[in-house]
Chain A
Amino acid sequence: MQFWVIQTLNSLALGGLLFLLSAGFSLIFGLMRIANLTHGAFFMLGTYIGVSALRVFPNLWLAALAGAVVVGLFGALLERFVLRSLGGNALGQVLLTLGVAFIISDLCLIVWGGDPIPVQTPDYLRKPMLIAGLPFPTYRLVVVVIALVTALLLWLLMERTRLGAMIRAGVDDMQMARAVGIPVSKLFTIVFCLGAALAGAGGVIGGPILSAYPGLDADMLPLALIVVILGGVGSLVGALVGSFIVGFVYTFGTALLPDLAYVILFLPMIFVIAFKPTGLFGKVSA
């Protein structure tokens, strides 16, 4: 019983982190039609920036804000000045994002070294909570709450503002969106910046659970890919549902059948691709 409760809560926490990672990934994919392979590196860069920020001011939430701002800005510049120059060449853009991911990865290694760096949980969240009589790390529950609040805010942005409607119009029919005067190139920058900022903040918030280490980027990127393929490209609800599905499958897979964890992880994806290629909530085929 204890095992199931704890693993369920762990699944939820991982799902929450994955949502912070993949919400932006999904929006970028949906609008710009490119898989941004820098996204895992954005997440890791966020974690490392959080590590450095915490040395200056010991507040995890401010560090998360710093991660969001720095990585968001980096993302905006990358889109505006590098990706833009390959406009219309989706394959070139995807390759470019992969190259940038390698560069970030190496720079992190140079700046922060090769040893894993733990990120401290804030003191007031260190005391375990008792859930059904079982102790459980409070911080992980906070992560779930943060993810759900973020999901709500993103939903409001996408569904209740003109900007959000313009982004969805671009996902629906890019060419027609341009023909009614929607400034699509500005939307690209906004969405890329927002997605990077979310990944950066997610990296810091995930720090106390995952810690900062070389290879964190490569560990996270496939999970984001799976989430988006499951949930559907460009769909926020899809990213949320997909994140929690992957959170559960990965956590229980690792706990129950550690040797087959990756098989179990990719299995639902194969079924979705076979029977609903657009993902559970998507319209565009990945």
Chain B
Amino acid sequence: MATEALSLKGVNALYGESHVLHGVSFALQPGRILALLGRNGAGKTTCMNTVVGFLPARDGDIRLFGESIARLPPEAIARKGIGLVPQGRRVFASLTVRENLIVAARSRKDGTRWALEPVFEIFPRLKERHAQAAGSLSGGEQQMLAIGRALMGNPSVLLMDEPSEGLAPQLVAEVGRIIARLKSEGQSIVLVEQNVKLALELADDVVLLNTGRVVFAGGVDAVRDDQALITQHLGVF
């Protein structure tokens, strides 16, 4: 079996006293999109925060292409090849669009796909606004910038935490096209989404979380066809 792009094994995480991830295990295969789904508070974002090192795993292991990253600080994890498009975008508001991108730039030994020009190529809006403060961009533009910024690090695994959140339908479709395009280039992606429809369109594999536990892991078709599963773990009614 090929090395997994990203794997979590028995990851426990705590916010202070409250246990938020209970032995979470799943694996992302290279070049695929794994959708991490669940209701609000299911632990999706916590999972992402644990992978990038914001919230260190209490125990368990996290591996990036076979190499353990579980105890590293966030900047080291980023340099190993994890790119994060965070929830709420979190662009550096006082920096210009261009500066947001160049502070995150990192080349890669096995071929550097992304740099300023290629990012501007897929996000022409960012090129137009390159000298503008990121804080003055619209929500959609900030989302493009957050994606571009993550790509500048030439990540081997891209984590996208609710990239469609708060966007107009047209922009959601645009974000979907970009994710599909990244996948077609072989980018491995973990996609956290509230927008189940979008996620099921894009994903190859699905992991369902419920109150900090993995309750389902499998191919996307199995989820699509299992209305009961969706209702039980994702439905609001």
Chain A residues within 8 Å of B, Cβ to Cβ: 162, 165-166, 168-169, 171-173, 175-185, 283
Report the separation of the CA atoms of residues A181 and B104 in the bound assembly, to the nearest whole angstrom. 7
Most chain B Cβ neighbours within 10 Å, of A171, A173, A185: A173
Taken together as a complex, chains A and B put the C-alpha atoms of A180 and B91 apart, in Å, by: 11
CA distance A181 to B79 in the complex (A): 6
Given A162-B103, A165-B99, A180-B104, the answer on whether A172 and B75 have CB atoms closer than 8 Å is no
Is there contact, CB below 8 Å, between B94 and A178? no
Q: Is B54 touching A169 in the complex (CB atoms < 8 A)?
A: no
For chains A and B in complex, what number of residue pairs have CB atoms within 8 angstroms?
66
> Which B residues are in CB contact (< 8 Å) with A283?
93-94
Q: Nearest chain-A residue to B106 (Cβ)?
A: A181
Once the chains bind, are B103 and A173 in contact (CB under 8 Å)?
no
- B79-111 interface bits toward A, Cβ cutoff 8 Å, 1 = contact, 0 = none: 100001010001011110001101110100000
- Judged by a CB distance under 8 angstroms, whether B163 is at the interface is no
- Is B8 an interface position by the 8 A CB rule? no
Measured CB to CB, the residues of B under 8 A from A are 52-54, 73-75, 77-79, 84, 86, 90, 92-95, 99-100, 102-104, 106, 149-150, 152-153
CB <8 Å contact, A169 and B75: no
Q: Is the CB of A183 within 8 A of B92?
A: no
**Contacting pair B75 A184 (CB below 8 A):** yes
A172 to B153 CA separation, bound complex (whole angstroms): 19
The answer on a CB contact under 8 Å between B74 and A179 is: yes
Q: Is there an interface contact between A172 and B79, defined as CB atoms closer than 8 Å?
A: no
Instruction: Say whether B78 contacts A166, CB under 8 Å.
Output: no
Cβ-neighbour of A179 out of B86, B99, B102, B152 (below 8 A): B86
State whether B103 touches A176 (Cβ < 8 A).
no
Q: Are B103 and A169 in contact (CB under 8 A)?
A: yes
12 contacts between A and B (CB under 8 A): A169-B100, A172-B94, A176-B86, A178-B53, A178-B73, A179-B74, A181-B78, A181-B104, A181-B106, A184-B75, A185-B75, A283-B93
Q: Which residues of B contact A179 (CB under 8 A)?
A: 52-54, 74-75, 77-78, 84, 86
Q: How far is A33 from B205 in the complex, measured between Cα atoms in Å?
A: 42
Do the beta carbons of A166 and B103 come within 8 Å of each other?
yes
A183 CB contacts on chain B under 8 angstroms: 75
Q: What's the least CB distance linking B17 to chain A, in Å? A: 19
B125 to chain A, nearest CB (A): 20
> How many whole Å from A241's CB to the nearest CB in chain B?
17
Q: List 19 additional contacts besides A173-B90, A176-B86; criterion CB under 8 Å.
A: A162-B102, A162-B103, A165-B103, A166-B103, A168-B94, A173-B92, A175-B54, A176-B92, A178-B75, A178-B78, A179-B53, A179-B86, A180-B84, A180-B103, A180-B150, A181-B104, A181-B106, A182-B75, A182-B104
Residues of A within 8 A of B150 (CB): 180
Determine the distance from Cα of A162 to Cα of B105 in the docked complex, in whole angstroms.
Answer: 10
Q: Considering the chains assembled together, what is the distance between the CA atoms of A172 and B102 in angstroms?
A: 15
**For the complex, what is the distance from the CA of A231 to the CA of B104, rounded to whole Å?**
29
Most A-side CB within 10 Å, residue of B52, B93, B104, B153 = B104
Determine if B74 and A178 form an interchain contact, defined as CB atoms under 8 angstroms apart: yes
Q: Please measure, in the bound complex, the distance between the C-alpha atom of A172 and the C-alpha atom of B150, giving whole angstroms.
A: 17
Bound: A176/B54 CA distance, A: 9
Q: How far is the CA of A172 from the CA of B86 in the complex (A)?
A: 15
